[in-house]
Structure 1
């Protein structure tokens, strides 16, 4: 029984160490992901609204990266398909504005889900790590009490060592939980901020396309080159006499 208690105590500590590694990996990955998304969105929004006209904005969004760029690409794609497939299927029975808003909402939700990946793991680790540590401490204390009973002495020198070793699991559990909780709260606020920016851009995008009746400009065609006038034929002698 004593060996089982020791195994459970040690396994709990190793489990918490594994959770700690997962936590810090997620913190690094999420920090890079949210920072990159914010930077890309800011750069795209600045370039988008600095475009000379809607056609230039369409060209700028084609190869752009980031959540906001994908929102714009979804909007332009929706309006383009609405032009090409008008009244050809049930989906196109929606008005252009309703169709555009619906696709933009779906893309915003997809971007938020992508940014929220891993947050549930951080929340789970932050909530459960202290209890896992306490679970290991209980079995560590049981093992310590059994060792004390076998020694037949309850002096402080005999009790302090085993009990202190058992409490290590609780300390590790708290040490794992604190960064996970702090990181979870930070990334939740960060994702909410990015989501609010996406909502604002989508609203402005709808207003922009509403000004042109939700119709995208067609690609400009190269002007036709004027045909050269045909070379004049020399007049015959009879024509010259007629004109004389």
Structure 2
């Protein structure tokens, strides 16, 4: 049984299914390897940055101290947003007309959404690959079996030996679909759990930062 021979002999649907699975596999593994690096750095950076922040004498000093630790820029945007509110002057804009509490809530929320958006990047692709790759493989298998049986039937006599080879080769597409989907699903679940932990830490830090500035507006 030679799957490559069957693929070369296949029609446009079979070859397109195989190429789509290959593209899905390459894309998901690129995202997986990139997110492994990001999650490893983020898991170490967030605790170090928050610890350095609480030991700093002011917001400006804290931003300078955590800049070297925050390689993925997860904590620094929150501190920068809070610092911008602490140093801002009253202006004739709708944003500046709100109370300090409203301004802090808004800028910290926006900064937090931006940070979480970077952490979530690639999750949609992994979920899409994990949910669709088996069906793409199944499509290739069904179409390959149909194509093989049609060819055999047109050749005349049908025997088990003549059917088993092409059908077995077509079933490789189902296995390929599962081989593409399983790593994507596992990575999605693992990264989702890690992102949830980091998100909880960042939300807690943003809440503490907001309370700090509201209780001590002249902290910087």
Asked if TM exceeds 0.5, the reply is yes
What is the root-mean-square deviation of aligned Cα atoms in Å? 1.9
Secondary structure of residue in 1 paired with 2:11:
helix
**How much has 1:148 moved relative to structure 2?**
2.1
Cα shift readout 1:9-42 (whole Å, capped 9, x = no counterpart): 1221122112111111110111112222222212
- Specify the alignment match of 1:74 in structure 2: 81
- Number of equivalences: 208
| C-alpha distance in 2 between matches for 1:73 and 1:124 | 35
Unaligned residue ranges in structure 2 (runs of 5+):
1-7
**How much has 1:86 moved relative to structure 2?**
2.0
Q: How does 1:216-231 map to 2 (within 5 A)?
A: 216-217=219-220
- Specify the alignment match of 1:120 in structure 2: 124
CA, structure 1 residues 73+62, in 2 after alignment: closer, same or farther (shift >3 Å)?
Answer: farther
CA, structure 1 residues 11+89, in 2 after alignment: closer, same or farther (shift >3 Å)?
Answer: closer
- Specify the alignment match of 1:137 in structure 2: 141
CA, structure 1 residues 155+72, in 2 after alignment: closer, same or farther (shift >3 Å)?
Answer: same
- Specify the alignment match of 1:196 in structure 2: 200
The one of 31, 38, 60 aligned to 1:33? 38
CA, structure 1 residues 151+89, in 2 after alignment: closer, same or farther (shift >3 Å)?
Answer: closer
For the 8 Å contact 2:100–2:214, the answer to whether it is kept is: no
The one of 95, 102, 108 aligned to 2:99? 95
- Specify the alignment match of 1:13 in structure 2: 18
Unaligned residue ranges in structure 1 (runs of 5+):
218-244
**How much has 1:87 moved relative to structure 2?**
5.1
**How much has 1:98 moved relative to structure 2?**
1.7
CA, structure 1 residues 146+87, in 2 after alignment: closer, same or farther (shift >3 Å)?
Answer: closer
For the 8 Å contact 1:123–1:181, the answer to whether it is kept is: yes
The one of 113, 123, 131 aligned to 1:109? 113
Cα shift readout 1:178-211 (whole Å, capped 9, x = no counterpart): 1111111222222222111111001111222233
- Specify the alignment match of 1:150 in structure 2: 154
| C-alpha distance in 2 between matches for 1:76 and 1:25 | 36
**How much has 1:76 moved relative to structure 2?**
1.1
Secondary structure of residue in 2 paired with 1:138:
helix
TM-score relative to the length of structure 2: 0.86
